[in-house]
Structures are given as C-alpha cells and as structure tokens.
C-alpha cells in the first residue's frame, strides 16, 4: 500500500509535466487544427535555456535559491515563447490556408531543425545538474520500514502546475485574448470579420503554449536533473498522446490525459517492467480510442458531406 502511494505521487508529478506540454498541443490544435510536431522540441529548448540561465546566475555568485528559480523561470519562459513565435512565423503561417498535410510536414521538418540545432549548439552529451532543491517530508512510515516521501521538488512541480492551470483557465475564459482565441477556434473567417486579429491571436496561442512548455522543461530539469537534445521527441510524443487521450482541443482533457499517461507509465514501471512502460502508454491510447474515437473529453466531430 505504501509502495502504491509512493508510485501514485511520482505518477502525478510526471503527469503534471506531461499535462503542461499537452496543453500546448491541444491549444494549437483547437485553433489552427494542426499537430505542432515541433512542440516537444520547444519543451527541450525550454529545458536548455533554464539550464544555461541557471549556470550563469550561479557563476555570478547568486545564492538565494528562490530568486534564482524565479529569474530562471522568467528568462526561460520569455525566450522559449519567442522560439514558439518564430516557429509559427517561419514554418506555419505561410501554410495557413494550404492543404492539411503541408503544415504537418513543415512541423516535422521544424522538429528536426530544432533537435539538431541544439545538438550542434550544445553538444550531444547529456547535461547533468546537481540537485538544486533538496529535502522533503515523510508522509507515512510503513511497518516494513518503507517510507512514503513527498520531496520539495515534487511539491513545487505540482503547485506550479496548479497555479499555471488556474491562471491559464482564467486567461481563456475571462480575458479579451481568451475570447479571441475561442472565437478563432470556432470560425476564423467570421472572427476576422468581427474584428478579431486572427494572425495575432494565433501567434499568441503559440507564444503561450511555448511558455507553458518552457515551464515544463524547467520542471523536468529540476526533477530529473538533466537535459539532452533528444528528450523533446519522446516527451513530445507522450504529451501528444496525452492530449489525444483526453480529447484533442479540450484543455481539461489535456491535463487529465497528462495525469493518466504519467500514472500509467509510473505504475507500469513499478509493477510490471520498466522497458515496456511506453508500450503500455501507447497501447492504452489505442484501446481508449477504439471505444471513444474522440478521446475521453473530446467533442464528437460532426461529419459533413
């Protein structure tokens, strides 16, 4: 039971990171209707920028951990958001009204570009960082000496996710930008006739998605203590799986899907085999889609002739 509780905590933390990335996928899908394949690599870039900022701050003699974390968070969100904006501007905007496969292939190409750009710029080797946030709480001490622990970093990851989600829900439901986004999602032509700047709204969607991915990248760096140039691919596929599992286009769905994928992965590694954890996650995706073809919370698509 204690073992299970511990795995539950680990799974929720991992799921929060996936959920943050999945929101970027689902948002872009909702508005532009395309799979942003480069989003996983945006997450990886976010991790790298967090790492470099952290290194520079430490070498300048800054020691106050909360201050460092805040600066790292802001810098990495800002620069990664600019990456998201640039990717949309270069690779997707010219193909906005093209046929459906064109932006997807362009996105796959962009993903290759970003992966190899960071490999060339920062080298192929894994970059480890020493644990920055240590300590934690013992929740429960079992009879056999097994302890259920909740580390500080886990608390930070979950709390950050909850805060960002609340902020993001507020943004989508109660601000001008959120209203524009929802309008564009329903009908871009109509929205533009009613005075919504479609191009700007789509750009902002990419910027927000990238900023959330940057937070996920930083959390990943803090939690696992390493980044490498290839981490975007696997994390990206998992997060996209999460978005589809929850029903692509649905924001609560993305978070739910993220948590589910995180839990499945952790529990499968804990009770069955570590090697097949990804196979388990993908298989469950396929099984869920057989019975619910639009995901858990997705709206059924209206078929039109």
Partner 1 sequence: MDGRSVSAPPAAQTSRTPGAAFILKKALISAFVALVLFSLMIGVRTEAGPQGQLVYWTRFDDLAIMVAAVFGGSILVELLRRWWGPVDTVRVVPPSVQSALSLAGRLVAPVLLVFTFLVPVLFYNERYILDLAILVLTYVMLGWGLNVVVGLAGLLDLGYVAFYAVGAYSYALLATNFGLSFWICLPLAGILAAFWGVLLGFPVLRLRGDYLAIVTLAFGEIIRLVLINWQTLTGGPNGVTGIPRPTLFGIPLTPADDGLAALLGIEFSPTHRIVFLFYIILALALLTNWVTIRLRRLPLGRAWEALREDEVACRALGINTTTTKLTAFATGALFGGLAGAFFATRQGFISPESFTFHESALVLAIVVLGGMGSQLGVALAALAMIGGFELFRGLDQYRMLVFGMAMVLLMIWRPRGLVGHRAPTVFLKRSQTISSDLVKEGHG
Q: Which residues are paired to 151 by β-bridges? A: 136
| Residues 59-98 interacting with partner 1 (rule: CB under 8 A) | 59, 75, 79, 82-83, 86, 90-91, 94-98
Count of residues that interact with partner 1, criterion CB under 8 A? 83
Least distance from partner 1 to the Cβ atom of residue 71, Å: 13
Least distance from partner 1 to the Cβ atom of residue 215, Å: 17
| Residues 144-173 interacting with partner 1 (rule: CB under 8 A) | none
Q: Which residues are paired to 148 by β-bridges? A: 140
The CB density around residue 226, as the number of other CB atoms within 10 Å, is: 14
The smaller minimum CB distance to partner 1, of residues 126 and 162, is found at: 126
What sign does the dihedral 58-62-66-69 (CA atoms) show? Answer: negative
Per-residue binding string, partner 1, 245-284, x by CB under 8 A, is: ---x--------------------------xx-xx--xx-
39-59 and 198-224 helices cross at what angle (nearest 10)? 60
**CB contact at 8 A, 279 and 261:** no
68 — phi, psi (to 5°)? -55, -50
Per-residue binding string, partner 1, 111-130, x by CB under 8 A, is: xxxxxxxxxxxxx-xxxxxx
The smaller minimum CB distance to partner 1, of residues 237 and 270, is found at: 237
| Residues 20-59 interacting with partner 1 (rule: CB under 8 A) | 29, 35, 45, 48-49, 51-53, 55-56, 59
249 — phi, psi (to 5°)? 100, -15
**CB contact at 8 A, 238 and 279:** no
- Please identify, among the stretches 99-107, 137-145, 167-175, 252-260, the one whose residues bind partner 1 according to the rule CB under 8 A: 99-107
| C-alpha to C-alpha distances, 132 to 53, 219, 221, nearest whole angstrom | 14, 11, 10
| Residues 178-217 interacting with partner 1 (rule: CB under 8 A) | 188-189, 192-193, 198-199
């Amino acid at each position: 039971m204690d073992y299970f509780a511990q795995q539950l905590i680990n799974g929720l933390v991992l799921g929060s990171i996936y959920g943050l990335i999945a929101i970027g996928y689902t948002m872009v899908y909702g508005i532009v209707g395309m799979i942003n394949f480069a989003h996983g690599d945006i997450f990886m870039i976010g991790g790298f920028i967090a790492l470099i900022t952290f290194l520079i701050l430490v070498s300048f003699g800054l020691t106050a951990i909360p201050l460092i974390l805040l600066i790292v968070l802001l810098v990495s969100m800002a620069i990664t958001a600019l990456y998201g904006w640039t990717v949309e501007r270069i690779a997707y905007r010219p193909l906005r009204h093209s046929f459906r496969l064109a932006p997807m292939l362009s996105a796959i190409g962009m993903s290759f570009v970003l992966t190899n750009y960071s490999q060339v710029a920062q080298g192929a080797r894994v970059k480890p960082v020493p644990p920055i946030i240590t300590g934690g709480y013992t929740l429960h001490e079992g009879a056999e000496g097994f302890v259920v622990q909740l580390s500080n970093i886990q608390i930070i990851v979950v709390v950050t996710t909850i805060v960002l989600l609340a902020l993001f829900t507020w943004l989508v439901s109660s601000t001008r930008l959120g209203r524009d986004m929802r309008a564009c999602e329903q009908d871009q032509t109509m929205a533009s006739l009613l005075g919504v700047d479609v191009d700007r709204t789509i750009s902002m969607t990419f910027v927000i998605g990238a900023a959330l991915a940057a937070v996920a990248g930083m959390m990943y760096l803090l939690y696992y203590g390493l980044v490498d140039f290839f981490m975007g691919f696997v994390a990206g596929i998992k997060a996209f799986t999460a978005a589809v599992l929850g029903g692509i286009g649905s924001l609560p769905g993305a978070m739910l899907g993220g948590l589910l994928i995180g839990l499945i992965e952790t529990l499968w590694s804990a009770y069955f085999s570590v090697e097949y954890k990804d196979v388990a996650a993908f298989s469950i995706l396929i099984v869920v889609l057989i019975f619910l073809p639009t995901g858990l919370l997705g709206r059924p698509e209206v078929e039109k002739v």
